[in-house]
Structure 1
Amino acid sequence: MATVEDVRWLGSSLERSYQVYVRGRLKFRVKQIVYVAFSLDETEMGFAFPKEERAALVAAQPHRFRMPRPSDLRFNWVEADLAALNPAEAREFVVDAWRMVVPKKVTRAYDLAHPDGPG
């Protein structure tokens, strides 16, 4: 079972990433782009995810993943139940979401420094 604490350090350590609280909700941003956000009760994690792949993810694992609310369908976004993820999976989703909002040269540098993926 993953928790916010399993990924907070990671989101804060990724290049160009910083954490903010918006209306009490923890979010991670690169510039003004939010790539990970948690529900107020910290039981759900929304994260950047390719629009063209999210329907398949949600259909395959509806007990773990949900489509974003209708007003957010235009964004590259999906939501997950943190209790249904293990900590390593949650960290992978955070890094993959971050990759969507930073330049390729930044992700290449991360890959060189972390050949085995997020810790």
Structure 2
Amino acid sequence: MSQAAERRRYSRVDFNTQVTITQHDKSCQADLLDISLNGLLVKTPEHYEINASHPLIATIPLSNDAHIRMNVSLAHSSHNILGFRNESIDIDSIGHLRRLIELNLGEADAAERVLSELLADI
């Protein structure tokens, strides 16, 4: 599947908040631009250290007691944007992401589409 076709397959939502990117004992904050089951795009932070050959964790706070946590890998980078591929996500985070997509797309069947997308990869 081409990269463009894969991007279209996943429902992406613009979601402007902070994300923490952690690798080993180092972390940085970045502005989240959009998110999907496939991964996320962030604005390139001013100062960061990422080794592309090692796994990372992206944590997106939703409230004081809810967050989306993904194990990610760096898929692409530029001066302005870093793209991360979702390697794994826990069931609670899937539920939060499902609800986020449902609310932001404003479509009743968006949540079912998100689950279908996820199950298609299993």
Normalized against structure 1, the TM-score is what? 0.32
Q: Which has the higher contact order (CA 8 A, sep 6+)?
A: 1
Compare the two structures and name the one with the higher helix fraction.
1
**TM-score of the pair, normalised by structure 2:** 0.31
